[in-house]
Chain A
């Protein structure tokens, strides 16, 4: 035995489960606290004999299981009913029945992952790379057919010779002194090991893929996969032109959509009414879209100052008496179809936004030619809010 090594523990081996239970009980009764039992399979009744209380791991499982359940239930509710309300299969926005299977599964998932992680991290004190008993003869025996108990040197009652005598009296088969190992570099970061992990990962992925997608792809059970239907963007010989996707019948109108009645006509033959009200919200949209689409040619305030530096015929001012006199429908027609050098904006700007732009142009025009009553109104607004509303 090497004298300059530090003693870690004394270990004793027993032959039968009954003897180890008895030994564990005696060790506990003798007042030792820092001891452990190693058996090659779970021995029933051991927890009691060792005087271990009820494990706390159940609370970890309980907490994370319920936390997972509550989280996923609320998350599904939020995403389906609040964030992106969407009808699926004619069910209500909050189809809690449909959430239950997933809630159940996430409960199990969170509970079990938390149990394993909690067990490793909290209860097993991992990462814990090497335990002194790992190198011993003792661990070899208990992992085959023996049952062993170790008392650690850190136990307050520990005394090398007394423990030895104690084990002998209990009828231990073999008694071994276990020493602390010398400090070793951490093996886990060696390149060999990392390559090994990568190979294992690759092999596992491949074999999983192969088994699930190739080997177990049994032909009779793919009713869902092979349905008698054509998928979008695919070929079919059902239609004469070979396209699975059909274009709607000429003149089809989408639900809730009102077609523009004056398409490709120079002027609307009768005035179109502006369906929007110049509310603050609408004007905000109008302003944004005007600045994006119209201001490069017509100027930020529609005053006809182009930013295009003569590369394109400048847009005229929209404050002329002629434009002020235009009906909303007329301007709408110009935005939609374009006019001479001005291109059509029908494809860039949705219809509601075109009307919003017109509302905004009306505001700009009014701002250029204010009425006395406008000044009065602004003054009152300023007084109320304490800031300059004109901006």
Chain B
């Protein structure tokens, strides 16, 4: 235990958390490996959904950190560390992507020569959509993210001991560089890993669509963890409902932003009514997918919108915790809905599989483990940050 002049008392998170994280991770991973052995095709697709979820959490959180630096926000400084810990998923992405890279043929139709040869459109796309370039792109982007993560987080942690204000300035510059890079790279990742599942289809707004969900999901994870930690006194007594309110406000904003983008994509396709474009929605409007599509509208927009509209809800930790969990689930459902119906393009028949639930369990376990081990080494508050006091004194 150590105390600082800003009144932060460092406490170790209980060991129980590690046990929970480890159990989830080990059980999830073990079952996942069995899944890969039984049915590698189905397992790769399930794994892809969870992988994209981890990308959302990791790079979404790094974006929130960069955003805070770039715009000079101080209200979120007291819990920037939480986002930094979540962004620690980024270095793991390079390892986590490996099982996917070995199973590309099960995931992407454009890896099959016969399918490419049968379509003029796909032939034209081969300079971009080919296996070597695809792998280079993905690994390259994960590396770029990792480099930005490394520098931003290193400066932030160094500040805890040196209290050097110049580090904040440095991070502002790095963050301002990261944001445009992030904009382009997240688009490329969304195009590569999800849009190319149905390679004949294209939508230029698809990257923005994924981005909106990414930030939404990272915000929800942040809110959930901040509230849980603060309720048990691990953060700071000055973090109060007004901070929660602002987090709720941002979640609300991104709920609307997502709806705006999702609808923009839908409306143009609906208006033009071209078979090449509508086919993507048709795949999501057959059989049970119709229910899932409607459920997305409800869970991803209508419910969170009306729920978060109220001032009182945003001021209450308990209600925010609920909607944060809801949002995490809704984002997962959204990713599932983006990935799974495309299966038919690759000649498979969709059916629900137990594996779809196994990988998220492992992912949650992994996040808990990462979080626990980082919180063991570093402060939960950026105690050297010059903006911290203002952040703690934040009023509406």
Q: Which residues in A have some Cβ–Cβ distance to B below 8 Å?
A: 44-45, 47-48, 54, 58, 62, 89-90, 97-98, 100-101
Separation of A44 and B75 alpha carbons in the complex (Å): 12
A47 B311 Cβ-Cβ under 8 A: no
Residues in A with CB closer than 8 Å to B266 are 97
Residues in B with CB closer than 8 Å to A44 are 394-396
B395 A100 Cβ-Cβ under 8 A: no
Residues in B with CB closer than 8 Å to A47 are 396
Separation of A101 and B396 alpha carbons in the complex (Å): 32
Residues in B with CB closer than 8 Å to A48 are 395
A97 B394 Cβ-Cβ under 8 A: no
B311 A58 Cβ-Cβ under 8 A: yes
Add 6 more A-B contacts to A45-B396, A54-B311, A58-B311 (CB < 8 A).
A44-B396, A62-B309, A89-B271, A90-B273, A97-B270, A98-B271
Q: Which of B266, B267, B395 has the most CB of A within 10 A?
A: B395
A45 B395 Cβ-Cβ under 8 A: yes
B100 to chain A, nearest CB (A): 35
B75 to chain A, nearest CB (A): 10
- The 0/1 profile, CB within 8 Å of A marked 1, for residues 260-300 of chain B is 00010011001101000000000000000000000000000
Separation of A54 and B314 alpha carbons in the complex (Å): 13
6 pairs from A and B in contact (CB 8 Å cutoff): A45-B396, A47-B396, A48-B395, A58-B311, A90-B273, A97-B266
Q: Which A residue's beta carbon lies closest to that of B266? A: A97
B273 A100 Cβ-Cβ under 8 A: no
Q: Which residues in B have some Cβ–Cβ distance to A below 8 Å?
A: 263, 266-267, 270-271, 273, 309, 311, 394-396
Separation of A45 and B240 alpha carbons in the complex (Å): 13
Separation of A204 and B150 alpha carbons in the complex (Å): 53
Separation of A54 and B309 alpha carbons in the complex (Å): 14
Separation of A58 and B311 alpha carbons in the complex (Å): 9
Residues in A with CB closer than 8 Å to B267 are 97-98, 100-101
The 9 A-B residue pairs whose C-beta atoms are closest, nearest first, are A45-B395, A44-B395, A97-B270, A97-B267, A54-B311, A100-B263, A44-B396, A58-B311, A90-B273
B360 to chain A, nearest CB (A): 32
Majority SS of interface residues in chain A? helix
Separation of A97 and B278 alpha carbons in the complex (Å): 14
Q: Which B residue's beta carbon lies closest to that of A95? A: B270
A385 to chain B, nearest CB (A): 53
A115 to chain B, nearest CB (A): 15
Residues in B with CB closer than 8 Å to A97 are 266-267, 270
Separation of A98 and B267 alpha carbons in the complex (Å): 7
Separation of A100 and B260 alpha carbons in the complex (Å): 10
A37 to chain B, nearest CB (A): 14
Separation of A98 and B269 alpha carbons in the complex (Å): 12
Separation of A48 and B315 alpha carbons in the complex (Å): 14
Residues in A with CB closer than 8 Å to B263 are 100
Residues in B with CB closer than 8 Å to A100 are 263, 267
Separation of A44 and B267 alpha carbons in the complex (Å): 41
B309 to chain A, nearest CB (A): 8
Q: Which A residue's beta carbon lies closest to that of B309? A: A62
Residues in B with CB closer than 8 Å to A54 are 311
Separation of A324 and B271 alpha carbons in the complex (Å): 59
Q: Which A residue's beta carbon lies closest to that of B264? A: A101
Separation of A47 and B263 alpha carbons in the complex (Å): 38
B162 to chain A, nearest CB (A): 29
Separation of A62 and B309 alpha carbons in the complex (Å): 9
Residues in A with CB closer than 8 Å to B396 are 44-45, 47
Q: Which B residue's beta carbon lies closest to that of A21? A: B395
Residues in B with CB closer than 8 Å to A62 are 309
Separation of A98 and B273 alpha carbons in the complex (Å): 13
Q: Which A residue's beta carbon lies closest to that of B311? A: A54
Q: Which A residue's beta carbon lies closest to that of B260? A: A104
Residues in A with CB closer than 8 Å to B270 are 97
B269 to chain A, nearest CB (A): 10
Residues in A with CB closer than 8 Å to B271 are 89, 98
Separation of A47 and B311 alpha carbons in the complex (Å): 15
Separation of A44 and B394 alpha carbons in the complex (Å): 8
Separation of A58 and B309 alpha carbons in the complex (Å): 10
A100 to chain B, nearest CB (A): 6
A315 to chain B, nearest CB (A): 57
Q: Which B residue's beta carbon lies closest to that of A62? A: B309
B205 to chain A, nearest CB (A): 15
Residues in A with CB closer than 8 Å to B394 are 44
Separation of A97 and B394 alpha carbons in the complex (Å): 42
Residues in B with CB closer than 8 Å to A89 are 271
Separation of A58 and B312 alpha carbons in the complex (Å): 12
Residues in A with CB closer than 8 Å to B309 are 62
B281 to chain A, nearest CB (A): 11
Separation of A47 and B396 alpha carbons in the complex (Å): 9
Q: Which B residue's beta carbon lies closest to that of A46? A: B395
Separation of A196 and B311 alpha carbons in the complex (Å): 43
Q: Which A residue's beta carbon lies closest to that of B270? A: A97
Residues in B with CB closer than 8 Å to A58 are 311
Separation of A48 and B394 alpha carbons in the complex (Å): 13
Residues in A with CB closer than 8 Å to B311 are 54, 58
Separation of A343 and B135 alpha carbons in the complex (Å): 85
Separation of A168 and B27 alpha carbons in the complex (Å): 70
Q: Which B residue's beta carbon lies closest to that of A89? A: B271
Separation of A98 and B263 alpha carbons in the complex (Å): 11
Separation of A275 and B247 alpha carbons in the complex (Å): 72
Separation of A62 and B311 alpha carbons in the complex (Å): 12
Separation of A100 and B263 alpha carbons in the complex (Å): 9
Q: Which B residue's beta carbon lies closest to that of A45? A: B395
Residues in B with CB closer than 8 Å to A90 are 273
Residues in B with CB closer than 8 Å to A101 are 267
B224 to chain A, nearest CB (A): 26
Separation of A326 and B396 alpha carbons in the complex (Å): 91
A134 to chain B, nearest CB (A): 29
Separation of A48 and B273 alpha carbons in the complex (Å): 54
B315 to chain A, nearest CB (A): 10
A97 to chain B, nearest CB (A): 5
A42 to chain B, nearest CB (A): 10
Residues in A with CB closer than 8 Å to B395 are 44-45, 48
Q: Which B residue's beta carbon lies closest to that of A100? A: B263
Separation of A78 and B271 alpha carbons in the complex (Å): 20
Separation of A54 and B311 alpha carbons in the complex (Å): 9
B7 to chain A, nearest CB (A): 18
Separation of A44 and B396 alpha carbons in the complex (Å): 6
Residues in B with CB closer than 8 Å to A98 are 267, 271
